[in-house]
Amino acid sequence: MDIKDRVVIVTGAASGMGAATAGLLASRGAKVVLADISDSGAEVAEGIRRDGGDAEFVRTDVGRESDAEALVAATLDRYGKLDGAFNNAGIEMCSLPLHKLTGEQWERAIRVDLTGVFNCLKYEIIAMLESGGGSIVNTASAAGQVAIPNAAEYTAAKHGVVGLTKAAAADYGKQGIRVNAILPGTIETPMVARAMEDPTFQIYAEGLLQRHALHRFGKPGEIGESVAWLLSDGSSFVTGAAIPVDGGWLAT
């Protein structure tokens, strides 16, 4: 699982799974480019540098193709190559039944949670084709395999991420680019905390803990460990996979 000196982009890196994964990768010697729409990602990068890691921050709205292009360009300008990426940026569900969703709510979820992954993949792959390969990990969700009530827009987007991951893996395997997805269960992140405060979501959340075979929610660092493995040569024969990191949610 050696990732020393590899250059890795992490989106959604200002908090939660992205911040934890960026810190873990940097602690193992990777050079990490943190991307987020929130400028607090700069503070995460500064913390990594204080701990002796190599990290830069690029403010990025992944839903804008030009931002994704600029993110990869900034990475190449700084480090000269791109070895890996964790396309993790996303937004939570609106906690509304389908018929109450507005077109704007639908389009925003698809733009960030699905098109955002496409935008990043496109320019990451262009860079990796030039350098001879790499590994990309996309954040889907357990909701990329099953439906969550009152989350049509989120469920559709995450199912799309799984399909997009498989398509990219099929397109670029011969060029040495591996593309996989992780399917997190409920992870203790600020995004989940916000969802838990929504009265509509709380009705569903009452039984959520029991849906996890381990009878606990996950930690952001546990996601980071899975991502680190997928970015390393330890997973060299794994591509096109959608891997649950969900405490047994999908198994039960």
- Residue 154: active-site member: yes
Lookup: tokens for 12: 């959604």
Question: Taking residues 17-38, what's their average pLDDT?
Answer: 98
Residue from 1, 58, 10 nearest 31 by CA: 10
d(CA 39, CA 58): 9
**CATH architecture for the domain at 7-243:** 3-Layer(aba) Sandwich (3.40)
206 against 139, higher pLDDT: 139
Q: What is the pLDDT of residues 78-87, one digit of tens each?
A: 999 999 999 9
Q: What are phi and psi of 170, to 5 degrees?
A: -70, -35
pLDDT in tens, 64-122: 999 999 999 999 999 999 999 999 999 999 989 999 999 999 999 999 999 999 999 99
Distance between CA 241 and CA 182 in Å, rounded? 8
Q: What is the distance between the terminal CA atoms of the chain, rounded to a whole angstrom?
A: 30
> pTM of this prediction?
0.94
Of 33, 55, 42, residue with least CA distance to 14: 42
- pLDDT bucket at 148, cuts 50 / 70 / 90: confident
Q: 123, 154, 172, 204: which is the annotated catalytic residue?
A: 154
Domain ranges of the chain: 7-243
